[in-house]
A = this chain, B = another copy of it.
Amino acid sequence: MTQMNLKRLSYFIAVAEEMHFGRAAERLGMAQPPLSRQIQQLEQETGAALFNRGRSAITLTQAGTRLYERGRDVLEQIEDIQLEVRRIGQGAEGRLRIGFVGSSSYGILPNIIKSFRANFPAVNLNLSPMNNAQLFRALIRREVDVAFARPALEDPEFVTRKLSEESLVVAMPDTIDIPARKTVNLADFQDHTFVLYPEFPRPSYADFILELCEAQGLDIESRIYAMDLQTALSLVAIGEGLCIVPESVSSAPRNGIRYHRIEPPIGATALSVNYRIDEQGVHVHKFVKMAQDVARKLV
C-alpha cells in the first residue's frame, strides 16, 4: 500500500467541500472515476470510511470530519512552507551574519546596511565587530557569512572585493600644540607616543603602520598597544599619544581629538568585503553586489 499522499489528501478535501464527487472532479480538473478511486484508496490507507455514501447525498463520517479539519490545516502549512523556503532561497528572507572591523563603522558600512535593509527588510542581519584575525577565523568556521576587513583577507578559500581606498590621517589629543597649517608631516611626530592596535595576533594593522613609518625614516620609540580602534581613540582622547587611522574615522568628531591630514601622504588602506569561495547563499552575493554599488556611489 502506498503511503499517504498529498494529492489524495487534497482530492479528499475537495470532495469533502463539494460533498459531491462529480463537482469535486470538475473543480480538480479531472474525471470523476479516478477521483472515486483515489478516495477509496485513501479510505483503505487510513483504514476508515470517510464518507457515508447515502442514496441521494454523501456525508462525512466522524473520521472523515476529523481528517478534513486536520488535513486542511496541513495543506495550508505546506503551501506556506513552500513560499517561505522559496523566499529564503531567493534571499528575500533569512539571516546574514556580518563581521566587520571597527573602523568600517565610520565609513560606508552604515550606508550599505541601510541600503540592504531597505531592499530586503525580511533578512535578519547579524552584525559582529572583530579584528582582522578574528574575521579570518570566523569566516573559515562559517560563523559569519561576510567579513569587512582591512586590509583584505588573503586565502584561497575566500573571495575578496575591494570597496574603497582611504588615505590615512593622524588622530591627536587637542592638548598638543601643532603648527598652524591644516596638514602635518609625519616627521613632526618623531618624539611623540604612538598608540597602535591590535597587539595580537601579528601581523596586524599595527605592523602596517609601523612599516609605513619606517619607510618614512621615522623611528618610533614610544609605543602603546590598544586592543582595538575604539580603545585606541579613547587613549588618544585622554592625551596618551597619537594614532594613525583611516580617513573615514575623522567623520565622527570626538571630544578631545583633532584629526589632521598627513602631507605628503604616507600610504592608504583599503576596506574589503570577503566571503567564502564556496558560498551558496543568494543573500551573500546580493549583499556583496550591493556593497560594491554603494561604495562606488560614495567615492
Contact = CB atoms under 8 A, between A and B. Distances in A.
B4 A82 contact: yes
A125 interface: no
A132 B85 CA distance: 59
A63 B89 contact: yes
A32 B82 CA distance: 25
B63 A94 contact: yes
A70 interface: yes
Interface string A34-53: 00000000000111111010
Contacts of A7: 3, 5
Given A6-B3, A74-B74, A74-B81, A52 B90 contact: no
A128 to B, nearest CB: 18
Bin chain A's interface residue count: 35 or more
Contacts of A81: 66-67, 70-71, 74
A52 B280 contact: yes
Majority-rule SS of A interface residues: helix
Interface string A162-197: 000000000000000000000000000000000000
A278 interface: yes
B46 A89 contact: yes
Interface of A: 3-7, 45-50, 52, 54, 61-63, 66-67, 70-71, 74, 77-78, 81-82, 84-86, 88-90, 94-95, 278, 280-281, 283
27 contacts: A3-B7, A5-B5, A5-B6, A6-B6, A46-B82, A47-B86, A47-B90, A48-B85, A48-B86, A49-B89, A49-B280, A50-B85, A61-B280, A61-B281, A62-B283, A63-B85, A63-B88, A66-B81, A66-B84, A66-B85, A66-B88, A66-B94, A67-B81, A67-B85, A70-B77, A70-B84, A74-B77
